[in-house]
A and B are shown apart, each in its own frame.
Chain A
């Protein structure tokens, strides 16, 4: 009978981690639906970006208030989670504060003491975050795409963190053995007196309940990630690693187009040539992107990484002047469509069955795509190296090259370039006339 708590704990842990693993696999499969792209270059710079941008939060602090508050929550999250290790070992072995047994008293006290201080700081930061979203209503949190689930999601995460931090502190405060060490209980010693009127066994029960809900809460939160924008706490790291290294202004040259152009320019090429015997029937490649499978897996990783902070949108010239384009919405739409495609694959035994929908049109409209000035403000603003512009450009390519659906004025401009090498209808022979004017 005495092993029942250990067994229950092990089962809870297996369910929690197992379900999470299942979803991580799904996540990874969905990301791999994207086209392959070679990102094996320049590993040194990539690790550096991961260290500075994700670990070091260097772009977060470009906005000092939210940046510093975020660092508090981030540090709190990372450091307090060391405590989860102890909880897991205790839970499985039926021990109590095993760290205290193995670590020097002073070190253990120092660790738990820092966790307690961080827990309070996290609480304060999270409450300020909640006020920014719900009371001050900072503009970027109340844009058109931030209603319904995305709005609730943002708050649910904050509630989760408040509850977890409170449970951690209560758990320590009601742990009479821990309090008797009188080391590391910097915050909880002030909470302990609230419970002093209760009987010892009642205090112990509260401690056990807080301990259990705390660890179950952590496992729930872990599993909540997949359904939430909060995935960024994991994906920010690979995302900054795989982020763009070339100058922001450098757009990819479409390789399929290069092949065609070379063929057109090659005077020896025979357009009617019979393909070599045994050569694979070449499927003409689709130019640009109309759905998530046409994007690269880095684009799709970007989409899952987005935590909807809206810094991109708040810097977007189109959005600032009332246009429908919001770079954040581009990322959210890409992720939502990818999820839909993933569910379709799950429901159809591993293969995607055409659902008559696609990213272009059903999620992202032409109007949004044509409002982009390609200015890179969104790319610059993103604290985790997401590139919404790349997706916008791929979809423009599809609109122009597959559908000839550019706005009329742009078609005129392009016809001019084709005919006389300038966006205006001037003769190429007049190109040097300015010299004598």
Chain B
């Protein structure tokens, strides 16, 4: 399977004198985290299927600095940002897509002030665009009539008011979409944001991902869908804590689309 993936880097394309239409920002989680890498690959399969002329930065990509910023280290954030912007601008990048809402928010909103101005898309927005422009055809697949509930990532939803793109994409699966009691603008965080992913939680009576998983379980879903590698970790752990991992899957929107089309 893996040898089928076509993943050109910006450097390779430049050497060939080619310019991609869009840069796929893979992000640290998408590059190194075992679970998130599957999302990355699923998204690349979609890009390949839709014959998108894209490229990645590969080893020239570095952490956006988002995590450092949320943790309070503005120095480290701006160092990372300035380095990344230098690379992006040297390739004259105009359009960026990413599977990570944190990278999405950071590059879209916080890079412009430091000299990095791009059109930035979340992968669910880009998949929606591919479907709407008939570049990606969705045939009815195995998720028909499955019960799917979408967990809004904070940095896609509240942070950037994008609630529809992931839902519109999921609708193409002909599944039953279920809303949790807290959804869209009032969605509960998975617990990973603000650099929490990398530290132990403060003393309390419950872990946030457990509470959020309870919200999801109340909809009695077959699948919990999300659009963020960190939400993926938190929700998967939550499902394990509730001992539901054999009956309920946690999947990224890109994975659902790719697997429904047997990519």
Contacts and interface: CB of A to CB of B under 8 A. Distances in A.
A373 B74 contact: no
A431 B26 contact: yes
Nearest to A315: B186
A46 interface: no
Interface string A344-372: 00000000000000000000000100111
A249 B75 contact: no
Contact of A431 (B31, B154, B203): B31
B31 A422 contact: yes
A418 to B, nearest CB: 6
B56 interface: yes
A428 B59 contact: yes
Interface in B143-173: 154-155, 158-161
A393 B72 contact: yes
Interface stretch (B63-71, B90-98, B124-132): B63-71
Interface residues of B, number: 71
A253 B110 contact: yes
Contacts of A424: 28, 32-33
B9 A432 contact: yes
B72 A406 contact: yes
A99 B40 CA distance: 73
A321 B196 contact: no
Given A422-B32, A423-B63, A424-B28, A376 B75 contact: no
Interface string A291-308: 000000000000000000
B204 interface: yes
B234 to A, nearest CB: 10
Contact of A318 (B33, B199, B204): B204
Contacts of B191: 317, 373
A151 interface: no
A321 B206 contact: yes
A34 B108 CA distance: 29
Contact of A248 (B5, B31, B159, B205): B159
Given A417-B80, A428-B62, A374 B206 contact: no
Contacts of A322: 203-206
A249 B160 CA distance: 6
Nearest to B205: A322
Interface in A373-407: 373-377, 379-381, 393, 396-401, 406-407
Interface stretch (A47-55, A137-145, A196-204, A256-264): A256-264
Contacts of B211: 317, 320-321
B200 interface: yes
A372 B79 contact: no
Nearest to A366: B202
Given A317-B211, A374-B70, A409 B198 contact: yes
Contact of B158 (A246, A377, A410): A377
B236 interface: no
Interface in B178-204: 185-186, 188-189, 191-196, 198-204
Contacts of B110: 250-251, 253
Contacts of B199: 370, 407, 409-410, 413
B75 A257 contact: yes
B62 A400 contact: no
Contacts of A254: 74, 78
A377 B32 contact: no
Nearest to B206: A321
A437 interface: yes
Nearest to B114: A253
A377 B158 CA distance: 8
A249 B205 contact: no
Contacts of A426: 32
B22 interface: no
Interface in B108-129: 108-110, 113-114
B237 interface: no
Given A253-B78, A265-B82, A401-B75, A247 B161 contact: yes
19 contacts: A249-B159, A249-B160, A257-B74, A261-B75, A322-B204, A322-B205, A323-B201, A370-B202, A374-B70, A375-B194, A397-B72, A410-B199, A413-B195, A417-B68, A423-B28, A431-B58, A432-B59, A434-B31, A437-B2
Interface of B: 2-3, 5, 7, 9, 26, 28, 30-33, 37, 40-41, 56, 58-59, 61-63, 65, 67-76, 78-80, 82, 105, 108-110, 113-114, 154-155, 158-161, 185-186, 188-189, 191-196, 198-208, 210-212
